[in-house]
Structure 1
Amino acid sequence: MRFARSTAAAAATAALVAGVITSLASPVNALSLPLKDSASVTSPSALTIADKQGVLDRIATRITQNLTEGDRAKIPGFTEIEVDPIHNQLRLHWKGTPPKRVTDILAHLPNGITAKIIPARYSKADLHAARDKLMHGGRPIDLHIRSESTPIRITTMGGAVDGSGLEITYASASGTAARESLAPAVRKERSREVKALADRLTGISTTANYKPVPDMAPPAAAPASRAPSAKDGSAVQNTRLWDMPAWTGGAALRTPTGSLCSSGFGIKNEKGQNMLTTAAHCNGNDGLWRTYGGNTAVGGSDGREYDTSVDVQGIDLPQPEVTGKLYDGPAKANWHYVKPITGPAQNYIGDYVCEDGANGGVHCQLKIEKTDVGTSGSGGWWRPIADLACTGGLTSDKSGCATPSSTDDIAGVNGDSGAPVFRGVNNFTADEARGTLTAFDGEMPGSTAEHHENSCSASEKSDVVDTTTSSGTPWCFPGLYYVPIRQTLAIMNWTLVTGQ
């Protein structure tokens, strides 16, 4: 949903039912922790869902010792943590008995918050060890099964949320992202063979489901003359399409090869130089970047501030001022609307985030369904740690985002690659940095993995900046993978520039 529509929805649900929210039905062997009387952060009835998420995230950060998604495997016994701002609840999956440090936190929760500790078969450390047995040289190994002469390619891999095992998706190792046409019985048998092999190689329980390589799909080159304009025909500067120094995230960039991608966050590299980020897969290595509308030079990239494992590159800025802010609103807005970035933050399953794409504008109400997932992409690159956010829930086979019921319910549009993922804070007057868009996931009603022509609603088609694709129409998706911002900052030795 676009930001303007999602804020209206948020306002309609701003105040939940007053009083203490009771526990959900307990799973078998789950321990419901009684609440201790303690001072509430504020009256539970006065908190919006966004506020509740903020409180739950702060508690989750204490439990996870402020460690990033992958590094949480360093916590003995820890498997996963889920936040549920709708029910004001935390669900903690743990192998064995949590330490006193954790139980003390859960025993002194603010009024109105409940928590559950749910026993897990495997810890995150167990799942990482199993995952590593399927890796070589920084990427997954090809799998060889009896029924196939062609190797099987792992497309995503990560631990199940409940710690029941390792979840794997696969495709043909031919390198194509197109969906293979297989009879259901044939695909079921192939998945059974892949699972049996993965079980044997890892030594733990796995699930295996077919899934093509996640889509990246930046559009092809568009005419250089295309530029935003106001109603009187004059060019509009300081907008997404025609950004100017100081540079702002979420702007539309013309890549060195002429396609459209998004600017990400303003950062300082280890030398203290200001740079603007975007996705590494946007083909910007050794080239000049321009604003998409005004065709104004932004800066160059030369491969020095570049890493495919987090799918990011830094653009060197001759005019190195960055605002520490993000554009907001529709992609083709001819007015200047930006919000300050408050800083980087952690991601937790159950959080709601927004995508700030240059081609499709802002889309919010995306729920994080998985964290710490390895995912493949174009060029055979492997992102070892990414998070998955969907407009709906997971499919029944846990392979990714479900097909939504409406073409209005999207996570983003092709050409949004490199876009910031954020959470609105301070009553949506500021943005909390969460990560950088690397790939899309899932299929919209009426589309398939090979044919995206019918994937966008009429309103989305009218809102996008560039429709230049192989089919001549924009491609919309219900889910996305993004690399967590703290993972990127740590790998690149960067510091986030904030606007406050």
Structure 2
Amino acid sequence: MKVRNALKRITVLGGIMAMPLTFLGQTAEAADPEKEVKVGESAWQPTERVPEGFRSWGELWSVQHRLNTAAEKIEKVSKLDKGSGYAGIIAAPENRELKVYWHGAVPDQVESAIAIQQVPIQVIPAKYSASKLHSEALRLNARDAIKAIIPKVDGSGLALRVNKERSLVADKALKNAVRAARVEVEITEVPTSLSAHTVAGRGPSTLPTACGALSFCRQNDTPPYYAGGQIWNTFRQRYCSTGFAVQTGDGKRGMLTNSDCGWPRDLVSDGGGDSIGFIRQHEEKRGTAIIEANAAGRIFDGGYDPATTFSKPVAGATQSYVGNWLCTSGAFSGVICGIKVTEVNGYMCCYDTGYGGQLPGQTPGGLIRPVTFAMQVDGTSAGGTGDDGGPIFELTDDTQAVIAKGIFDGASVGSSERPCTGDTWNGTRRCSREIYYSDVKQTLSHFGATIIRSAAN
């Protein structure tokens, strides 16, 4: 096969061309007549400041959607090449172009895929391919001093977060493993006491479940259930959040959530104590699970307070790329936006769960993978305890609907810890500006499920 080393910048006259968005392989549904939709609710807009260079969040997400669409097509083609030199992609709307990192010569089919995209694209040489970095990451997996392993998006090496109390000097095995690494390794020491991640919260014995004048809300939802609602696992004594509605391969409906929220055959209830359903599928290594439930393709939007809570339909799902902007909608924080993806396809250590220890079957030192990391750019909380399992999303161009991005997995505490929004559990909740989550497209592929979309209001 003929290849070329022509690493070049491909531009499109007039900048990014507007094209209609399509989301394939997703299940549509009719509107839900049994749940009245609040008038004008889809007009809700993020309250966080709009990044410089954009007049609105809608304009930003319009650019982001076009970049992501092109990125997914390029990445798909790159996987067809055995021994692909693909390293990573940055899709930051502020750049108004894609940055594609590639190790070695760029194959003809990849160059052709790049050439036909309707966005400016810059191809940049990378030191290592993504496959090389991931193979090295897995080789380092067994070292329990490691808190996270992150292949760098530019292909320059691995970023390791390790326990400060078990430094490379003290942990001889880890030290030797890093020395033997066949790629460059950047190490950041994190104090053990500050490196625990928030997981499904135990919280107070009782929490507010009143919805005021509303017939349902985050705190006490009704069927068909929406993403971002409060759930309770009596057996595990844990509060969590509902994720996006899905349809499994056998045609049954369910809701995604975090694997820490329970184990197979655990019964999950809503905030008012009514049974939602049993956890049917569970994958600890991916940090995700599916609750069998009567679920709808909508998410709770707006704040934690029922008076400020709305809902929006789910329009589809898309992959996350470094530079993407997104929002969270945890049951106990409410919607938080202004969050930016910093790393993708990382590995997070599940050994130190921080709250209540390991669930049955968890393997000490095992890694949750693949994990996407994101940061609230204004320095405030992006979410925390009890938000686990909740939806990560971006909005459509007109901001009237959401596009699924992921399922909330956890939040890094320590220097990233911030005061919580929403319900603070009398000061016992812990929140952070840095979160990590399971990519929704990868999760759907693993479970053989499709996202459930809702008809417009």
What is the TM-score normalised by the length of structure 2?
A: 0.78
> Following superposition of structure 1 onto structure 2, how do residues 149-168 of structure 1 map, counting pairs within 5 Å?
152-168=144-160
- Cα distance 1:163–1:442, how it changes in 2: closer, same or farther (>3 A)? farther
- Tell whether 2:418 aligns with 1:426: no
- Cα distance 1:39–1:281, how it changes in 2: closer, same or farther (>3 A)? closer
- Structure 1 gaps of 5+ residues are 1-28, 135-139, 143-151, 172-178, 393-403, 448-454
The residue matched to 1:306 in structure 2 has which SS? strand
CA deviations on 1:167-198 (whole Å, 9 max, x unpaired) are 22222xxxxxxx74x9xxxx585699945532
Shift of 1:486: 1.6
Q: Name the counterpart of 1:146.
A: none
- Tell whether 2:448 aligns with 1:493: yes
Query: Could you tell me how far apart the structure 1 residues matched to 2:372 and 2:278 are?
Result: 29
Query: Could you tell me how far apart the structure 2 residues matched to 1:247 and 1:45 are?
Result: 35
Shift of 1:476: 1.8
User: Which of 57, 60, 65 pairs up with 2:68?
Assistant: 57
Point out which structure has higher relative CO (alpha carbons under 8 A, 6+ apart). 2
Query: Could you tell me how far apart the structure 2 residues matched to 1:154 and 1:221 are?
Result: 28
Is the 8 Å Cα contact of residues 250 and 264 (structure 1) preserved in structure 2? yes
> Following superposition of structure 1 onto structure 2, how do residues 156-305 of structure 1 map, counting pairs within 5 Å?
156-171=148-163, 180=165, 194=174, 197-200=177-180, 202-211=181-190, 212=192, 213-224=195-206, 226-230=208-212, 236-256=214-234, 257-292=236-271, 294-301=272-279, 304-305=280-281
Is the 8 Å Cα contact of residues 36 and 108 (structure 1) preserved in structure 2? no
- Cα distance 1:86–1:221, how it changes in 2: closer, same or farther (>3 A)? closer
- Cα distance 1:106–1:275, how it changes in 2: closer, same or farther (>3 A)? closer
Is the 8 Å Cα contact of residues 101 and 154 (structure 2) preserved in structure 1? yes
One-letter amino acid matched to 2:296: T
- Tell whether 2:36 aligns with 1:35: no
One-letter amino acid matched to 1:81: I
- Tell whether 2:385 aligns with 1:414: yes
Query: Could you tell me how far apart the structure 2 residues matched to 1:45 and 1:480 are?
Result: 25
Query: Could you tell me how far apart the structure 2 residues matched to 1:225 and 1:353 are?
Result: 28
- Structure 2 gaps of 5+ residues are 20-52, 359-363
The residue matched to 1:125 in structure 2 has which SS? helix
One-letter amino acid matched to 1:342: A
Shift of 1:58: 1.3
> Following superposition of structure 1 onto structure 2, how do residues 69-218 of structure 1 map, counting pairs within 5 Å?
76-107=84-115, 110=118, 114-134=120-140, 140-142=141-143, 152-171=144-163, 180=165, 194=174, 197-200=177-180, 202-211=181-190, 212=192, 213-218=195-200
Is the 8 Å Cα contact of residues 199 and 409 (structure 2) preserved in structure 1? no
One-letter amino acid matched to 2:94: I
- Cα distance 1:217–1:483, how it changes in 2: closer, same or farther (>3 A)? closer
Shift of 1:128: 2.1
Is the 8 Å Cα contact of residues 92 and 98 (structure 2) preserved in structure 1? yes
Query: Could you tell me how far apart the structure 2 residues matched to 1:411 and 1:220 are?
Result: 20
CA RMSD of aligned residues (A): 3.1
CA deviations on 1:230-279 (whole Å, 9 max, x unpaired) are 2xxx6x43211111011111101122234321001111222211112221
- Cα distance 1:85–1:191, how it changes in 2: closer, same or farther (>3 A)? farther
Q: Name the counterpart of 1:467.
A: 425
Query: Could you tell me how far apart the structure 2 residues matched to 1:104 and 1:414 are?
Result: 46
> Following superposition of structure 1 onto structure 2, how do residues 354-393 of structure 1 map, counting pairs within 5 Å?
354-377=327-350, 378=353, 379=358, 380=364, 381-392=366-377
Is the 8 Å Cα contact of residues 215 and 441 (structure 1) preserved in structure 2? yes
- Cα distance 1:109–1:298, how it changes in 2: closer, same or farther (>3 A)? closer
CA deviations on 1:131-182 (whole Å, 9 max, x unpaired) are 2323xxxxx212xxxxxxxxx52221131222121222222xxxxxxx74x9
Shift of 1:216: 2.0
- Tell whether 2:437 aligns with 1:482: yes
Q: Name the counterpart of 1:342.
A: 315
CA deviations on 1:51-103 (whole Å, 9 max, x unpaired) are 11111111111211278xxx699661111111121120211111112223333
Identity %: 22
- Cα distance 1:72–1:430, how it changes in 2: closer, same or farther (>3 A)? farther
CA deviations on 1:389-432 (whole Å, 9 max, x unpaired) are 1114xxxxxxxxxxx6x5xx221121101111111113221111
Is the 8 Å Cα contact of residues 38 and 108 (structure 1) preserved in structure 2? no
The residue matched to 1:328 in structure 2 has which SS? strand
Shift of 1:40: 5.6
What is the TM-score normalised by the length of structure 1?
A: 0.72
